[in-house]
Structure 1
Amino acid sequence: MKGVLAALLVTLQVAYVVGRPSHTMSCSEVDLCVAPCVRYLTREQKEPSEDCCKGVKRLKGMPKNTEERRFACSCVKQAAHGISGLKDDAVMKLPTACDTPLLFSISMDFDCNSIP
């Protein structure tokens, strides 16, 4: 389960935040939102599960400002490094598959600092 949680936020890959920003979110909370999506993101499932889409919707509502959106983005990228077999196409299609557009792009090379 730790591997899944660490690998949860299957989406963006590079920024690691040192220290905790002055907000109430944690990477663990972000990871829990996307944990149910791992099987879809690795293409073990053809469609995201209901729990996966609920988590994506929760993730969309968590960040309240630019700093928190960037933090959530970096958590996703950090988690993506731990997911074996992650499929870029599934990652990019996840918000659409869950009918939940996010405030930041989901891709393996997205720059979290570009989030407004």
Structure 2
Amino acid sequence: MKKATALVLLIFLTVQLFVQPSFQADLTCGEVVMTLHKCVSYMTGSESAPSPDCCEGLQRLRSLLITHEDKELACTCIRHATRRIHNLKEAAVKELPSTCHVELPFALSTYMDCN
């Protein structure tokens, strides 16, 4: 399990190298990824509920989404990351914010639309 989580984290971090936003935001893909990495086991179905650390990370992400650019960058980073992890459970990804009682400015999905 730790090996799988480490691999997923590596994939998430690699995403930031490929996502070059056309704007300069204070938030980075690395920060976005780090807030959600504890949620991977829930989103892949390895755990039946998100951990407290996962929900705290999601809350941290919400607190970082201040500007329109922050929200756009976070959405884009998450979209690219979820496309690289093939065993994500769509229902778990979609339900994560409500399960953690965190309102995000965009819907989480394995096929996110950031426009």
So what's the TM-score if we normalise by structure 1? Answer: 0.82
Aligned to 1:13: none
Q: 2:48 aligns with which of 21, 43, 46?
A: 46
Aligned to 2:8: 4
Residue 6 of structure 1 deviates from its aligned partner by 4.7
Percent identity over paired residues = 35
Work out whether 1:35 is the aligned partner of 2:19. Answer: no
Contact between 2:38 and 2:57, CA under 8 Å: does it hold in 1?
A: yes
Q: CA RMSD in A?
A: 2.1
Q: 1:75 aligns with which of 70, 74, 77?
A: 77
User: Which protein is richer in helix relative to its size?
Assistant: 2
Residue 108 of structure 1 deviates from its aligned partner by 2.3
56-65 or 76-85: bigger deviation: 76-85
Distance 1:70 1:2 in 2: 26
Runs of 5+ consecutive residues of structure 2 not aligned to the other structure: 13-17
Listed one character per residue, the Cα deviations across residues 43-92 of structure 1 (whole Å, up to 9, x for unaligned) are 10000001000000011111211121011000001111222310000000
Structure 2 CA distance for partners of 1:47 and 1:33, relative to 1, 3 Å: same
Contact between 2:29 and 2:74, CA under 8 Å: does it hold in 1?
A: yes
Distance 1:87 1:7 in 2: 17
Structure 2 CA distance for partners of 1:7 and 1:50, relative to 1, 3 Å: farther
Runs of 5+ consecutive residues of structure 1 not aligned to the other structure: 9-15
Query: In the alignment, residue 36 of structure 1 is paired with which amino acid?
Result: K
Contact between 1:30 and 1:59, CA under 8 Å: does it hold in 2?
A: yes
**Higher RCO, 1 or 2 (CA under 8 Å, sep at least 6)?**
1
Contact between 1:63 and 1:69, CA under 8 Å: does it hold in 2?
A: yes
So what's the TM-score if we normalise by structure 2? Answer: 0.82
Aligned to 2:15: none
Aligned to 2:114: 112
